[in-house]
Amino acid sequence: MRRGWKLLLLIVLASVAGLQAATSAPCPIERATAYGARVWLLCDERELLASQDSGQSWQSVALPSGVRYRSIAFLDERRGFIVGDAGTLLASNDGGKTWTQIPIPVKDNLTWIHFSGEFGWISGWSGVMLHSSDGGKTWTLQDTGVTQGLESVYFTDPQHGWAVGWSGVIIRTTDGGKTWQRANTLMNFWSLSAVYFRDPMNGWAVGFNGQILRTKDGGINWEELKSPVRSRLTSITFDRQGRGWITANNDLLVSEDGGETWSSIPVQQVLFLRQALPVGESLWAVGRFGILERTGGSSEFRSIASLPRRNPEGS
Domains of the chain, first to last: 24-303 (2.130.10.10)
Cα distance between residue 132 and residue 111, in whole Å? 16
Cα distance between residue 258 and residue 196, in whole Å? 13
- Calculated CA dihedral for residues 130, 180, 276, 270, nearest 10 degrees: 80
CB 202 within 8 A of CB 184: no
User: What is the three-class DSSP state of 261?
Assistant: coil
What is the Cα 284 distance to its own chain's centre? 12
For the whole model, what pTM was predicted?
0.89
Residue type, 272: F
Cα distance between residue 105 and residue 115, in whole Å? 19
Over its length of 315 residues, how does the chain's per-residue pLDDT go in tens digits? 444 433 333 333 233 333 333 446 788 999 999 999 999 999 988 899 999 999 999 999 999 989 999 999 999 999 999 999 999 999 999 999 999 999 999 999 999 999 999 999 999 999 999 999 999 999 999 999 999 999 999 999 999 999 999 999 999 999 999 999 999 875 667 899 999 999 999 999 999 999 999 999 999 999 999 999 999 999 999 998 899 999 998 899 999 999 999 999 988 888 999 999 999 889 999 999 999 999 876 668 888 878 886 554 444
Give the chain's end-to-end CA distance (angstroms, integer). 38
Q: Which of 150, 263, 260 is nearest to 214 (CA)?
A: 260
Name 240's Cβ contacts closer than 8 Å, sequence gap at least 6.
278, 281
Cα distance between residue 12 and residue 239, in whole Å? 39
